[in-house]
Amino acid sequence: MQRIISWFTNLYPVWTIGISILALIKPEALIWFNPYVVIALGFVMLNMGLTLSVKDFKSLQRMPGSVAVGFVLHYTIMPLSGWLVARWLKLDPQFAVGLILVASCPCGTASNLMTYLARGNLALSVCLTMISTLLAFVMTPLWCQQLAGHYVPVSAVAMSISTLKIVLVPVLLGLLINYLAPKVVARVIPWGQVLAVITFLFVTGSIVAKDAEAVKNNAGLLAVAATLLHVLGFGLGFGAARLLGYPLNIARTLSIEVGMQNGGLAAALAQANISSMPLAAVPAVFSAFIQTLVGSSIASWWRMHPVKETGDTKEA
């Protein structure tokens, strides 16, 4: 049974593409889930919290410099790249705000899977995803206010509160449950991961379904925008890590952690905080699709070209 569960969760990129296509062809099959996006994302974050333990926080002590560098790279390269791409392509204000919002979000939960496939440093990947997610309630609103504020008024406080509710509270609750009842969590977590994947697929599908016409009508431009955003993220993340002297396996991990975004959170925050721009969630759809293609392609290539370097304690 564990093999089936692993097989299902590891094929998450394939399911994402499949459900996006279904949502475009038959939006009525998934649009009904849209009112539950925020709650559903909270459940996904709760599941993430259940997979964390005190040991994960202790592992930060082994590589504080790597984690700090990864955090800074993620929250500088991606937001600024999103803003530059939006300006360069002269995106419609709704799409520009949406792209900047996606770029300002924490690492995507699929980054851990991509790191595993790429044979990167999984412990570092988990730490970076955890830290970028826990501090998203500060970083995401601040970047959005600074970079998207001239398109639409953005309340950093309101967005921070939304992020706390959607991300931080569920993650900390999951961590607490795991601390109090580790044996129970160990039994249910495999199924929890399956439910989290299914839930996130419904989140993605419902967002695509809700704005199916906008997705179709702007597919070319938004696909280019998302591709540029994530290629810049993966490329600059890798390049910066190498310039700082990190070995290849760490550079690959940082590349993935910088380039992968939590598009579901971006869509939820857009719906909750930028209601005057109903199409602001659309770039999150293309981000999820493109980063899955680019990320899985890079991970597969790196998996076929493993490195002997295993350094994981190089400090910045």
Q: What is the tens place of the pLDDT at every residue in 73-90?
A: 999 999 999 999 999 999
DSSP 91-149: --HHHHHHHHHHHTS-B-TTHHHHHHHTT--HHHHHHHHHHHHHTHHHHHHHHHHHHHT
**What pLDDT is stored for residue 88 in this prediction?**
97
Q: Does residue 58 register a pLDDT over 90?
A: no
Q: Does residue 106 register a pLDDT over 90?
A: yes
Q: Does residue 310 register a pLDDT over 70?
A: no
Average pLDDT over residues 272-280: 86
Q: Does residue 184 register a pLDDT over 80?
A: yes
Residues facing residue 107 across a β-bridge: 261
Distances (CA, A) of 2 to 38, 109, 111, 302: 29, 20, 21, 26
Q: Does residue 151 register a pLDDT over 90?
A: no
**What pLDDT is stored for residue 316 in this prediction?**
45
pTM of the model as a whole: 0.86
> What is the band of 314 on the pLDDT scale with cuts at 50, 70, 90?
low
> What is the band of 312 on the pLDDT scale with cuts at 50, 70, 90?
very low
Residue of higher predicted confidence among 245 and 3? 245
CA distance 291 to 174: 27
Q: What is the tens place of the pLDDT at every residue in 255-265?
A: 999 999 998 88
Q: What is the tens place of the pLDDT at every residue in 204-231?
A: 899 889 888 888 888 899 999 999 999 9
CA distance 226 to 34: 22
Name all domains of the chain by residue range, CATH numbers in brackets: 32-304 (1.20.1530.20)
